A and B are shown apart, each in its own frame.
Chain A
């Protein structure tokens, strides 16, 4: 017994010491990303990104990589594919980067990740936003805010997602309606069209108990003049008159029959299917929906219109959209910091952004490119509308954003699933309490 006990204790102590030793140092992050040099000798960097299809069905990533390699001949960019879902993609990235792995060098990540990744040393700081005025002034403020954490940028923007209200142009024309400007009009038209038997559902959106309903609720909340948290994501502000109004409206959509209770299980894909199969009159969805609704396998191809999201009757701001999008992060353990930063930064700038905007359905965050007549003049009206969109930022400034969002969707979803019945005020109060607990780091 003695032998093994000694061995156990000895080994255990050694390992404990090793584990603790790792806790003190954090030196590696002191590298200045922007000062890192681009090497003269050839280097290869790994870029993890999902496949991005361009207008011809080809891979936009390859077009970009080729253009980049022409510009920087010493750098080779190696494409690495990712798992299918955003969640699994995040877990493979976190386990891989937290392991100290030097690959991937650059990774395309969701716009809600910066705080979480920065707080956990999974992303390389890419310079202070304030100190790089010239660079960041080219992007809308919400975009630079969203990619930064405590003043430092942690990603270079690649593309943004903006939400629109898509509608059945043919049906609105048939009944003599103009595209709606308020949510009240949306409800009226939707009910009339369903009653007339033209569609099965009036208005479909995303109410699944996950990030989608957080995005949808955040938008209704902003329409009503409120917000989930203050701008710095330090204080919960959802328990307000606006919060209660937004929740009431959302539940009312279902209880009045404008939206089916099924939206409580809808993520983007399901709502898209309902719309493009001709079952719904209105759809709230991101920029990509224009292409999907007009695709070859869509039953409503050519019968679709798009507007920025409406306002509430008497509301001040319209065209509000949750800011979505994907941006390039740099692995803090990369061996090729200079080359990695050069690539991530290049994708955010004019040359790459123009390629992207003119050959693919992805919306460039760089204002000058988005305002370019060549870009706005394309078939796709979402580009032209995008410049007028007003962004609503989710409180992803908090490193506990996943838990905060969980408090939002777990309290909002039951109201939708139950057909809009339930105490909306109580739901908002519960949501606020849950968000506060989450913000303090005391939630799962």
Chain B
């Protein structure tokens, strides 16, 4: 293998470990700062020079965050993103199957169109969508975000699932079809179990994309009760000060669950994220 044998102190002190240390420090420092400041009282947060650790650690910020509407934002986000992800996956499963397996005409143009839409900037459709939703009375509601989130994340999910489905052996389907399975049952019972990693990947991407989405959420649901986490966090603060302590407590509270999930599922997440990248 390529790693040369290192002996004695060189096993610990070497360019590789040094590089790794630099990477860890650079990545972790802002995160450390976020966590530390979420436990600082206001006067320590604006202290100069800044203290490396809180002198009088307090959980007050966390209480303030949840008392100040953050719980609502969190609920809104979870609801919108979960529903959007479920809808995206169910629609994309069938579309992906059709594009991978059926001899339907016009697959090429459809795939190209999907590709373009998946990178199409949200700003370009913001106003018409706002207007359409305004006419339908949907603004400042959950569907106001779920509907566009589904539409904008479907193309990419279809792509991923289609590529996974291409690698499912044909024989399975043929057997199912000889057994007299309907196409819907074939997809649900034969194909779906084979592309579970694909579903996982598409799900992770859809959920993260919707979880972070800001522009549409800011425009369609700016009313307090329907703000998602990014909107709530962006509009936080008053003229005179941004209450960073509360903001960071909220930030830790939303990042920690994701970080823990990433930690627990790191193998499948990394595998999922990279699968397409490498296999093509």
Which positions in A face B, CB cutoff 8 Å? 1, 15, 18-19, 21-22, 50-51, 53, 80-84, 88, 92, 95-96, 98-101, 103
B139 in contact with A80 (CB, 8 Å)? no
Interface membership of chain B positions 123-163, coded 1 if the CB is closer than 8 angstroms to chain A and 0 otherwise: 00000001110111101100000000000000000000000
Contacts of B131 in A (CB 8 A): 19, 22
* Contacts known (A1-B106, A80-B224, A92-B222); A99 close to B238, Cβ less than 8 A: no
- Give the number of chain B interface residues (Cβ < 8 Å): 25
Contacts of B139 in A (CB 8 A): 99-101
Contacts of A99 in B (CB 8 A): 130, 134, 139-140, 220, 222-223
The chain A residue with its CB closest to the CB of B135 is A18
Contacts of B140 in A (CB 8 A): 96, 99, 101
CB B171 to nearest CB in A, in angstroms, measures: 30
B135 in contact with A84 (CB, 8 Å)? no
Interface membership of chain B positions 222-265, coded 1 if the CB is closer than 8 angstroms to chain A and 0 otherwise: 11100000000011111110100000000000000000000000
Contacts of A50 in B (CB 8 A): 238-239
* Contacts A/B (CB < 8 Å), 29 sampled: A1-B105, A18-B132, A19-B132, A19-B135, A21-B135, A50-B239, A51-B238, A51-B239, A51-B240, A53-B240, A80-B224, A81-B238, A82-B239, A84-B237, A84-B238, A84-B242, A88-B235, A92-B218, A92-B235, A95-B218, A95-B220, A98-B130, A98-B134, A99-B130, A99-B222, A99-B223, A100-B137, A101-B139, A103-B223
* Contacts known (A84-B238, A84-B239); A96 close to B132, Cβ less than 8 A: no
CB B214 to nearest CB in A, in angstroms, measures: 13
Interface membership of chain B positions 178-194, coded 1 if the CB is closer than 8 angstroms to chain A and 0 otherwise: 00000000000000000
Q: How far is the CA of A103 from the CA of B139 in the complex (A)?
A: 13
The chain B residue with its CB closest to the CB of A81 is B238
Q: Is the interface of B mostly helix, strand, loop or mixed?
A: loop
CB B233 to nearest CB in A, in angstroms, measures: 11
A96 in contact with B135 (CB, 8 Å)? no
Q: How far is the CA of A104 from the CA of B264 in the complex (A)?
A: 44
Contacts of A82 in B (CB 8 A): 238-239
The chain B residue with its CB closest to the CB of A1 is B106
Q: How far is the CA of A103 from the CA of B225 in the complex (A)?
A: 11
CB A115 to nearest CB in B, in angstroms, measures: 22
B219 at the binding interface (Cβ < 8 Å): yes
Contacts of A101 in B (CB 8 A): 139-140, 223
* Contacts known (A92-B222, A99-B140, A103-B223); A83 close to B235, Cβ less than 8 A: yes
- Give the 4 A-B residue pairs with the shortest CB-CB distance, closest first: A99-B139, A18-B135, A83-B235, A84-B237
